[in-house]
A = this chain, B = another copy of it.
């Protein structure tokens, strides 16, 4: 009988908790609004109550490996200490692992939401599909996050901030980013950036949409229908992704890079410019370039959409207890 574990996807809006076996079989889950503004104590109490309930329900399914938490950042690892997390206002300094460990009798792992998504994608998504145990995942959501899995383990670095590929100088005269740099990947390829850029270019007026209606998904739809401004916005996102990936390919030389998060649904709109940019600017990519970018070829650099969709974070959190320790 397989072991099982419980994962928590602690989002700024929603808190999701799921029990899964080691191979990713879903045993049960719950979800409710996080209500982060109520302060961390009631949220963590409710989270722990739900974990206990799920444990009771799933405990016939084998040995219990523990609980994994995927949290918004920035946070220091392994203790999961939050540092002014923009998506959990008022939670600065909360020591997630300690708070949960004092309430539950099981081993607790904490990691960033982007890291756990990358870990799931490696173990049960594109990594598993291609038989690879290393990848870099870039998550295009409200912000841009990233995670790096090397030889089957998350690469955390000094304090868990490794894989922050959404930040750092990329286009030096680009818009300022909250991180202090300018022209980061996040200011071009996040959902927020796509909407901001479309507004700058007058898309809202052009289509008659009110400001509130304009989402990254709506802009993608307009682009698919041929709207030139909407196409330009995604083309620019593709260029920034190409620049970022060119640097990542030269630094890491991995076999697999996956693009996830909500914006990745617009893959067809940004991928052509992204691939053209990587090919032009990364000689390491050209050394191991596949004949076609839409088919995986062993010993070639493959860049593709993530496979797991919006469950990647929950699933990845539940896989943390199964990460080998060494």
Contacts and interface: CB of A to CB of B under 8 A. Distances in A.
Interface of A: 74, 76, 83, 146, 148, 150, 155-165, 167-172, 179-181, 243, 246-255, 280-284, 286-288, 299-301
Given A157-B254, A168-B249, A181-B280, 17 more contacts: A74-B287, A150-B150, A158-B253, A158-B254, A158-B288, A158-B301, A159-B253, A161-B287, A161-B288, A162-B252, A163-B251, A167-B284, A168-B251, A169-B246, A180-B282, A181-B246, A181-B282
Contacts of A146: 251
By secondary structure, the A interface counts as loop
Given A169-B281, A172-B171, A243-B169, A287 B251 contact: no
Nearest to A284: B161
A284 B169 CA distance: 12
A195 to B, nearest CB: 23
20 contacts: A74-B287, A76-B287, A150-B150, A158-B253, A158-B254, A158-B288, A158-B300, A159-B288, A159-B299, A161-B284, A161-B287, A162-B251, A162-B254, A165-B251, A167-B250, A167-B282, A180-B280, A181-B246, A181-B281, A247-B247
